[in-house]
């Protein structure tokens, strides 16, 4: 499962443009917004290939960067973002 940069930015408490700018500044994304080191970071950042037909320009083949579920805490660490832990939930099996 992978998340778009926009959704990953929401999970980190940022806007997606600010997230991409910080990732480019840290060298995680290239100028084309694709992973700068795809082999090194493949557990955290992946690319998704798409295709669609444009009536004037023919087939288009866009590539987008996606963040894996393991990539959210990794990105927070790489960018120095403090993420609060979720509130502890009571265990429903505890009936004492």
DSSP state of 88: P
Predicted pLDDT of residue 70: 92
Predicted pLDDT of residue 92: 82
Q: Give me the residue label for tokens 């393991």.
A: 70
For 15-78, the three-class secondary structure string (H helix, E strand, C coil) is CHHHHHHHHHHCCCECCCCCECCCCCCCCCEEEEECCEEECCCEEECCEEEEEECCHHHHHHHH
> With b meaning 16 or more CB within 10 Å and e meaning fewer, what string describes 42-74?
eebbbeeeeeeeeeeeeeeeeeebbbbeebbeb
Q: What is the pLDDT along the chain (96 residues), one digit of tens a residue?
A: 889 999 999 999 999 999 999 999 999 999 999 999 999 999 999 999 999 999 999 999 999 999 999 999 999 999 998 876 677 888 888 776
Predicted pLDDT of residue 85: 66
Residues 6+ apart with CB under 8 A from 91: none
């Amino acid at each position: 499962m992978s998340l778009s940069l926009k959704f990953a930015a929401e999970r980190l408490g940022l806007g997606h443009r600010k997230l991409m700018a910080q990732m480019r500044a840290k060298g995680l994304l290239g100028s084309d917004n694709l992973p700068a080191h795809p082999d090194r970071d493949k557990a955290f950042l992946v690319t998704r290939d798409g295709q669609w037909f444009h009536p004037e320009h023919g087939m288009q083949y866009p590539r987008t960067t996606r963040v894996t579920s393991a990539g959210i805490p990794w990105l927070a660490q790489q960018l120095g973002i403090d993420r609060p832990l979720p509130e502890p939930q009571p265990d429903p099996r505890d009936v004492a």
